[in-house]
């Protein structure tokens, strides 16, 4: 038999109802919610929350959020009025059973309507997808036809160019052969003329051999390797002043440390700057002095050296909150909570700070529901914290948009 949940809380205005139901350690994914105009049911075994509402609500506009161990209902009344109570008074078992059956029937009808609407929307989407695919296929077909036509045109042009080149080469070859035949004929005529007119010249080869010069062999190729001393400055070593250059390099390293830790080379760090704890203490001093940007730079460098220390992210979230970097505040607080696991008494104080800072950033971004969830998580850690209680109450009033009505 299920255990009925009775330790829920609720507030109301003339137009809205706010209900907070604790999940009592049950995972959010194991809960099922049923909400109709007159009936709300939440089943998260072995617990059961059931309420028969005092007056009808607008189901379509109502919102349910599950997270951080609670289920938050934001219900909108069909008619603005202040309810005397959340549930119907003096409801007998027969009326309760009838309301349950009507709620289940309405839920089944709504489920059927949603299924039909989904089916119609699915058919429309399929039809639209088919039309789009047909259009894409038609465009692709036209593109392929165009590419084929271009290929045919290019092939025809290349074939014509090849034929023209072959014709020119053939004409050139014929001209060369004609010139060669003319030269051979000219040589034969000259030879015949010299044979019959000039006397023979003895020892021509011997004279030619004497006039030939002996050419020495070509020298072998090679390469010479030259090694230069590495230098930071472009001037030659004999022209440089080493002491002044070292002083200048040291000043440049200090300037990089002071201005931008993200692009800082770790070789430029001093010995104490390589210690994340020293950098954390330095960031705390800068934060206390009001120099939040310098504190962020110190913590950035500490996180580069060791990104597993949750305190570094927690402290940096405080700096970003002061600088109004709200999204970075949420990121650092979430990273700190991720590292502060498992939740134990020793890290309770750090988890409380992380929830409060992230909740504050959410509220500054006007995400009040998320901010309220973080503040309620902080109250679970320290229920007696008056400051967190007051801030949570202010956030609830902002969500309601008006003062609280009677319970």
In a domain, 290, yes or no: no
- The pLDDT confidence band at residue 275, using thresholds 50, 70 and 90, is confident
Closest among 61, 39, 36, 60 to 49, alpha carbons compared: 39
Burial of 113-122, coded b for 16+ CB within 10 Å and e otherwise, reads eeeeeeeeee
Domain-located, residue 173? yes
**CATH number of the domain enclosing 22:** 2.60.40.790
Q: Which of 109-123, 128-142, 184-198, 329-343 has the highest mean pLDDT?
A: 329-343
83 and 134 share a domain? no
pLDDT tens sequence across 289-302: 999 999 999 999 89
Local structure of residue 221 (DSSP, 8 states): P
Let me know: does 296 contact 312? Beta carbons within 8 Å. Answer: no
Strands 63-67, 70-76: pairing kind: antiparallel
53 three-state secondary structure:
strand
By the 10 Å C-beta count (0-12 exposed, 13-18 middle, 19+ buried), 399 is classed as middle
CA atoms within 13 A on the CB side of 309: 17
Structure-token pair, residue 386: 């008056």
For the chain, the distance separating the N- and C-terminal CA atoms, rounded to the nearest angstrom, is: 29
- Residue 42 lies inside a defined structural domain of this protein: yes
pLDDT of 320 over the 80 cut:
yes
Burial of 31 (0-12, 13-18, 19+ CB in 10 A): middle
Q: Which phi and psi (to 5°) does residue 117 adopt?
A: -65, -40
Report which of 362, 322, 315 is spatially closest to residue 336, judged by C-alpha positions: 315
Interatomic CA distance for residues 18 and 51, integer angstroms: 13
> Of 54-63, 147-156, 191-200, 327-336, which has the strongest mean pLDDT?
327-336
- Asked if residue 46 has a cis previous peptide bond (ω within 30° of 0), the answer is yes
Q: What is the pLDDT of residues 64-109, one digit of tens each?
A: 888 778 888 899 988 898 888 888 787 777 877 887 888 888 878 8
Whether residues 7 and 87 fall in one domain: yes
Strands 9-12 and 16-22: antiparallel
Domain boundary among 134, 165, 197: 197
Q: Which of 197, 229, 258 is the last residue of a domain?
A: 197
Instruction: Say if 146 falls within a structural domain.
Output: yes
Q: d(Cα 159, Cα 167) in Å, to the nearest integer?
A: 12
**What mean pLDDT comes out for the span 211-240?**
64
Q: Which pTM was predicted?
A: 0.38
CB atoms within 10 A of CB 204: 9
What is the number of residues in the chain? 407
Question: Structural domain of residue 128, as residue ranges?
Answer: 122-197
pLDDT band at 342 (very low <50, low <70, confident <90, very high): confident
Task: Tell me how far apart the alpha carbons of residues 153 and 99 are, in angstroms, rounded to a whole number.
Answer: 79
DSSP reduced 3-state for 223: coil
Residue 147 shares a structural domain with residue 75: no
Return the percentage of the chain with pLDDT > 90, whole number.
28
Tell me if 265 is assigned to some domain. no
Q: Where are the beta strands (DSSP E) in 266-310?
A: none
- Token pair of 29, please? 């994914």
Q: Give CA–CA dist 209/211, Å, rounded.
A: 6
CATH number at residue 351: 1.25.40.10
Please give the tally of structural domains in the chain: 3
């Amino acid at each position: 038999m299920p255990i009925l949940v009775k330790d829920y809380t609720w507030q109301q205005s003339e137009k809205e109802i706010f209900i907070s139901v604790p999940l009592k350690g049950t995972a959010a994914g194991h809960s099922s919610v049923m909400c109709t105009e007159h009936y709300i049911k939440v089943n998260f075994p072995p617990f059961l929350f059931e309420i028969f509402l005092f007056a009808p609500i607008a189901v379509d506009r109502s919102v349910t959020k599950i997270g951080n161990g609670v289920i938050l209902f934001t219900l909108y009344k069909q008619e603005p009025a202040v309810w005397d109570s959340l549930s119907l008074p003096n409801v007998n078992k027969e009326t309760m059973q009838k309301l349950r059956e009507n709620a289940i029937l309405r839920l089944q009808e709504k489920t059927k309507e949603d299924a039909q609407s989904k089916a119609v929307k699915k058919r429309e989407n399929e039809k639209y997808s088919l039309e789009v695919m047909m259009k894409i296929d038609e465009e692709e077909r036209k593109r392929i036809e165009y590419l084929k036509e271009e290929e045919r045109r290019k092939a025809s042009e290349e074939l014509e160019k090849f034929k023209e080149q072959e014709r020119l080469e053939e004409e050139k070859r014929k001209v060369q052969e004609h010139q060669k035949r003319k030269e051979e004929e000219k040589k034969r005529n000259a030879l015949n003329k010299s044979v019959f007119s000039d006397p023979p010249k003895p020892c021509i080869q011997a004279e030619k051999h004497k006039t030939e010069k002996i050419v020495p062999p070509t020298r072998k190729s090679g390469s010479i390797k030259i090694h230069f001393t590495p230098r930071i400055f472009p001037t030659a070593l004999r022209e440089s002043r080493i002491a002044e250059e070292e002083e200048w390099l040291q000043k440049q390293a200090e300037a990089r440390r002071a201005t931008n830790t993200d692009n800082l080379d770790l070789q430029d760090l001093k010995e104490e700057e390589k210690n994340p704890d020293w950098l954390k203490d330095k960031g705390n001093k800068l934060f206390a002095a009001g120099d939040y940007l310098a504190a962020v730079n110190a913590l950035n460098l500490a996180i580069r050296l060791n990104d597993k220390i949750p305190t570094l992210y927690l402290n940096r979230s405080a700096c970003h909150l002061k600088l109004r970097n709200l999204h970075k505040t949420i990121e650092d607080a979430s990273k700190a909570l991720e590292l502060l696991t498992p939740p134990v008494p020793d890290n309770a104080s750090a988890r409380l700070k992380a929830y409060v800072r992230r909740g504050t950033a959410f509220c500054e971004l006007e995400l009040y529901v998320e901010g309220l969830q973080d503040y309620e998580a902080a109250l679970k850690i320290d229920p007696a914290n008056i400051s967190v209680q007051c801030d949570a109450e202010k956030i609830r009033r902002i969500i309601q948009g008006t003062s609280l009505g009677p319970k």
